[in-house]
Amino acid sequence: MTTTINANAKNLTLAEVHRLFGFEKHYTNSFTSLLSLEDITEHEQQEIIQIRDDFDDYISTDRVSEGLVKALTTFPLMRLAGFYRRPIKMSLEQDIANITIEDEDTTITGRFDILAINKEKQIAADIPFWILVIESKNSLIAPRAGLPQLLTYAYKSLEYQESVWGLATSGEFYQFVNIRRGNPPTYQLMPFLTLMEPEPSILLLQVLKAICKL
């Protein structure tokens, strides 16, 4: 008798994701090998400072929940980077389609935090192009804790497109991942960025703007 195991993406470890989906991990020390970065304006720099200061007021006194991380940092940064404008559309806390691993008799379910799609870049009928998948954690959890969920969600999108960007964040720290279809599928871990320091925070916005224009 075969038993089917139902698993939630948020409970998977990185080792389990590697085994189930066959992902191979790579590292890079530069964003410019994959993205074309542009200078940001003085106004944008001031906006980043304001986002940082607002967030700093909260983390200085207490843990910041996942919801507040999104409200204080993720959403303002995405607005500043252009994700609120056409043809980009965002979805929040949507169920992923069930992923069935036949060899493992496993069905995986889950809900992604934020998904940005390009509605004008259709891959097939009713299947839009995924631009960026975001997984937020509370301010005390390392961003890499969100990698198993990101990779699981991205794996579903790779049925229809060659690659997708992922972002795991605690509000303070940011881990971008470039996930690509292949045999085996691969993901490339980009350098860690932080909102709390001037140069990395500027690079953070540059990366988001470059992804938004893909």
User: Over 16-31, what HEC string results?
Assistant: HHHHHHCCEEEECCCC
Residue 212 has pLDDT above 80, yes or no: yes
Q: Is residue 3's pLDDT more than 90?
A: no
What percentage of the chain has pLDDT greater than the value 90?
65
* CA 180 to the chain's CA centroid: 14
Q: Angle formed by the axes of helices 147-157 and 14-21, to 10°?
A: 20
Contacts 24+ apart (CB under 8 A), 119-126: 119/86, 119/87, 119/88, 119/89, 120/86, 120/87, 121/87, 123/160, 123/161, 124/160
Angle at alpha carbon of residue 87, lines to 159 and 38, rounded to 5°: 95
Characterize 137-176 residue by residue with b for buried, 16 or more Cβ atoms within 10 angstroms of its Cβ, and e for exposed: bebebebbbbbbbbbbbbbbbbeebebbbbbbbbbbbbbb
What residue spans of the chain are helical by DSSP H? 14-21, 42-59, 66-69, 75-81, 147-157, 198-212
Read off the pLDDT of each residue in 142-150 and give the average, rounded to a whole number: 89
What pLDDT does residue 7 have?
73
Higher pLDDT, 129 or 111: 129
67-71, 143-147, 203-207, range with the lowest pLDDT: 143-147
For the entire predicted model, the pTM comes to 0.91
* Residue 97 pLDDT exceeds 70: no
pLDDT score of 108: 82
Residue 96 has pLDDT above 70, yes or no: no
Residue 55 or 1, more confident: 55
User: Average model confidence (pLDDT) for the chain?
Assistant: 89
> How far is 161 from 121, CA to CA, in rounded Å?
11
Most confident of 88-92, 153-157, 209-213: 209-213
Q: How many domains does one find in the chain? A: 1
Q: How far apart are CA 22 and CA 101, in angstroms?
A: 11
pLDDT at res. 2 = 37
Phi, psi of 2 (to 5 degrees): -95, 130
Task: Report the CATH number at residue 146.
Answer: 3.90.1570.30
Q: CA-to-CA distance for 53 and 60, rounded, in angstroms?
A: 10
Residue owning tokens 């991990």: 25
| Parent domain of 22 | 5-212
Confidence of residue 181 (pLDDT cuts 50, 70, 90): very high
Per-residue pLDDT, averaged over 106-113, amounts to 79
Helix (H, G, I), strand (E, B) or coil at 126: coil
Q: What is the CA radius of gyration of the chain?
A: 17
pLDDT in tens, 37-55: 999 999 999 999 999 999 9
DSSP 2: -
Q: Which residue has the higher pLDDT, 12 or 110?
A: 12
Banded pLDDT at 64 (limits 50, 70, 90): very high
Question: What would the pLDDT profile of 7-35 be if each residue is shown by its tens digit?
Answer: 777 788 999 999 999 999 999 999 999 99
* Pairing label, strands 111-124, 106-109: unpaired
